[in-house]
A and B are shown apart, each in its own frame.
Chain A
Amino acid sequence: MLLIECPFCGPRAEIEFSYGGPAATRRPDDPAQVSDADWVDWLTVPENRAGPVPERWCHAKGCGAWLTVLRDTRTHDILDVRHGA
């Protein structure tokens, strides 16, 4: 089980959190100016590294904050936690 360091509540067990999926790169400011290929890439292709990936977790059974967590997919080591996107 992951131990996620919530900036507000301290280290808490993974089962207190709900998983919010990969933290996508920034949404293009003006979708009309983006090519179809780039839009589909932004929409459907997550970072899938065997290594650190950014992902969102919500402290659903705690303070309710949405966090962005940098976690290594090979070791489950959590490298960084910050509030918001």
Chain B
Amino acid sequence: MARFSFLELARQALSGHQGWPRHWRSRELQPRYDILIIGAGGHGLAAAWHLARDHGARNIAVLEAGWLGGGNVARNTVTIRSNYMRDDSIPFYVRSVALFDRLTRDLNYNTMHSRRGMVDVLQTWGMVRDRRRRRLTMDLHGATYRPMSVPELRRMVPPLTGGGPDARLPILGAEFHPDAAVNRHDAVAWGYARAIDAMGVEIHQNTPVRAILRGADGAVTGVDTPRGVVRADKVALAVSGHTTTLTETAGLRLPLRTINLSAFVSEPLQPCLDVIVNCPDLGVYLSQSDKGELVIGGATDLGQSFRRDVKQHVFEETVAAMLDLFPAFRQVKMLRQWGGHLDIAHDASPIVSATDVPGLFVSAGWWGGYKAIPAGGMCLAHLVATGTPHPLAAPFGLGRFRHLDYVLEAGTTTAR
């Protein structure tokens, strides 16, 4: 792997940039590996990277049904934050935000990380109390929230002209979360892929897994793909909405249901928003991308769904909510929309866990899993390599459902 540096850039410039190597190689699929990771999304790639770097594992293959970076790692709003509510969750997300902060250096790949902060616009007294409670809990774990007055908020976010005293929901206050950031999702996927390829991990795209295979003793023996059976004693699933589809081929039922979460992007505008704005009372949040587009996220579709499109009324309700606070955006044209199907656990918290099937590990239930990619990958790698949960992910085992020891943590925006 040619290390990216100023010197390398200058050297390549002399040869007209024709000599840059491929980020990762396409290789022959071997019949056996030590570890199989299913899903070359953010979590799967990050797990492979931590397995190779921290645990010395090399004989790993990452199998991807589609193309690398084409799943939920590209179907999100790149919002990285740690303003959670439970003692079990906050340290995990604090670590994830810290790992994201240094990912560009760790991967030697520009993830275009922008630590711009997020402001929560509060429009009901219930939400003011909820965020105050979060602030006090977060203080204990090193995440930061800072209360902000309405004039201070309006200075920070000039296009936020709605929500005045005559509005249906007047703005009562705000909380600023300076740790929050956005980055470039493709760079995260490609950066991890390039780094793990350099360490000898194989990435196989267009290799959907049809079934998980078990031996006579019940343990995992490999997976079945259209390219043939691939054997491994350890199989880790990081496939988001398709987790239960795969585990059911091994006779394993999990407390997950698959839902659709959508987001929208506007046409590019002049720079007008240099902070992530979250409006939990209205159920919409937005930021402005480096290209100038408004990136808008909203509520989930209600029922279970394996679709990746957007329902018209979900789009309308989300955009109408945004216009309540940003009336100037009324004339903005929307450019793109996408939905991703994600799986949500019974208690809305993630699952990083061994299962009743020996050798089968799952990382699932990521509702807003983009921010959790580095820490989720780190914890999955630790679990696969050592067989014991990483301390940060210990509360997120499947055993919690058996013992009714739920981590009740809904998201900040979309769980209304």
Residues of A within 8 A of B (CB): 1, 14-15, 19, 22, 36-37, 40-41, 43-46, 48, 50, 53, 55, 71, 73-76
Contacts and interface: CB of A to CB of B under 8 A. Distances in A.
Given A19-B302, A48-B304, A74-B306, A36 B402 contact: yes
Interface stretch (B111-119, B228-236, B253-261): B253-261
A48 B305 contact: no
A27 to B, nearest CB: 16
A31 to B, nearest CB: 13
A83 B54 CA distance: 56
Interface string B326-359: 0000000000000000010010000000000000
Given A22-B304, A40-B402, A48-B244, A73 B258 contact: yes
Contacts of A22: 257, 304
B301 to A, nearest CB: 9
Q: Ordered nearest first, which 10 A-B pairs have the shortest CB separation? A: A19-B302, A44-B255, A44-B346, A48-B244, A50-B306, A73-B306, A48-B257, A73-B304, A45-B253, A45-B255
B224 to A, nearest CB: 18
B31 interface: no
B339 to A, nearest CB: 12
Nearest to B314: A1
Contacts of B245: 48, 50
B303 A40 contact: no
A45 B307 CA distance: 21
B18 interface: no
Contacts of B307: 73-76
B309 to A, nearest CB: 9
Nearest to B259: A73
